[in-house]
Amino acid sequence: MTAVPLAPRVEAREPRSSATSALIRWAVFLGGMALILLRIPQTEAMLVQQIPQTAPADMEPELVRLSVSVALLLGTIAFGIVLAMYLGFAAILERKLFPGELRFGNNLRLGLFTAVIVAAVVPVQVWSMLSGGMPSPALKAGPVIVCCLGVLFLYRRSLRDTGRARAAFAGLGAVALGAAVAIV
């Protein structure tokens, strides 16, 4: 019987973790949901004003209140699902495309794409709370792009260290992600 030499052991690379720490990601998600929940009375008032224009005249008031409540519940759930999807997508982009991060203390890290989501969601929600309505898409796009460019400015050192092509791709991806978040 002949001895078969063993192949050299190949160590698997550990998958790179997301640039954003889990605590920050949860804080962003819960903060976004808190903004939506704070806007519920305002949104309810807007829906109640719009219902008489679209509902039949013989619709019962209880049915109108029920339909407004269901619309608010479904809208809140949909926003939570979409925000969670965007944060998951940001984690993938931070793992695969651009691992640059801002550090806060020893364990808190904020990645570029999660920061872009914050920059795209928070100003629009705060605007809506202060103005009483959602801005038009054209009005919403300008500030969101400016906020995304501001986030890119914060990460300029990390972007510079990755090389021009990757930095350009990450920058375009960040602005595109911000625009996609703002559209929804």
Q: Tokens for 100?
A: 């640059």
Give the model confidence (pLDDT) of 80-132 as tens digits.
999 999 999 888 888 888 777 778 878 888 888 888 888 888 887 887 888 77
pTM across the whole model: 0.79
Q: Which of 7-16, 73-82, 107-116, 142-151 has the lowest mean pLDDT?
A: 7-16
* pLDDT score of 12 more than 60: no
